[in-house]
Amino acid sequence: MEETHLTQLGHQARGFASPGEAVLERVPNPHADTLYLTRFTAPEFTALCPVTGQPDFAHLVIDYAPGDWLVESKSLKLYLGAFRNHGAFHEDCTVAIGRRLAAELSPRWLRIGGYWFPRGGIPIDVFWQSGAAPAGLWLPDQGVAPYRGRG
């Protein structure tokens, strides 16, 4: 495994103006020989509607089975925060996040659920995964109920 130089963890780090500018950092997985699941939940994710400029809100659940790398959580938080002023449709945001994480980490498997709060009276839920889950991987439910006020 190669050495990693963390530029955000333990340092004052400003947010990024856009997801494309955001730096996702990774650290070596000390249990790369073990099949397990890591979950990140972002219940207050925001992006902008690319048409109206109005804010859109989502509850994101990211599950991945790490390979050689783990995502450094502060860099993930800053990356997700970079969507706050970024205009994109729900599907674009959700799939782009999953694909970027998969490209940066090369996990054994990754899935993302984007549970978007309604605008115009319609909630939109978007799901993406990198492929079939590895045999033997415990996959808990993502824990977000079908829309009934998302409470």
> Residue 73 maps to which CATH number?
3.30.1130.10
What is the number of domains present in the chain? 1
Within a domain: 120: yes
Kindly state the tokens that stand for 129. 């995964």
Within a domain: 65: yes
Catalytic residue among 49, 68, 92, 125: 49
25: exposed, middle or buried (Cβ count in 10 Å: 0-12, 13-18, 19+):
buried
Within a domain: 28: no
Clarify whether 56 is annotated catalytic: yes
pTM of the model: 0.89
In the chain, % of residues over pLDDT 90: 77
In this prediction, residue 100 has a pLDDT band, given cuts at 50, 70 and 90, of very high
pLDDT digits (tens, 9 = 90+) for 10-58: 556 677 678 998 999 999 999 999 999 999 999 999 999 999 999 999 9
Backbone dihedral region of 114: left (phi > 0), alpha (psi from -120 to 50 degrees) or beta? beta
Within a domain: 142: no
70 and 25 Cβ atoms separated by less than 8 Å: no
Q: Domain range for residue 125?
A: 37-129
Q: What is the DSSP letter of 24?
A: P
Segment 73-85 shows an average pLDDT of 95
pLDDT digits (tens, 9 = 90+) for 63-72: 999 999 999 9
pLDDT at 1: 38
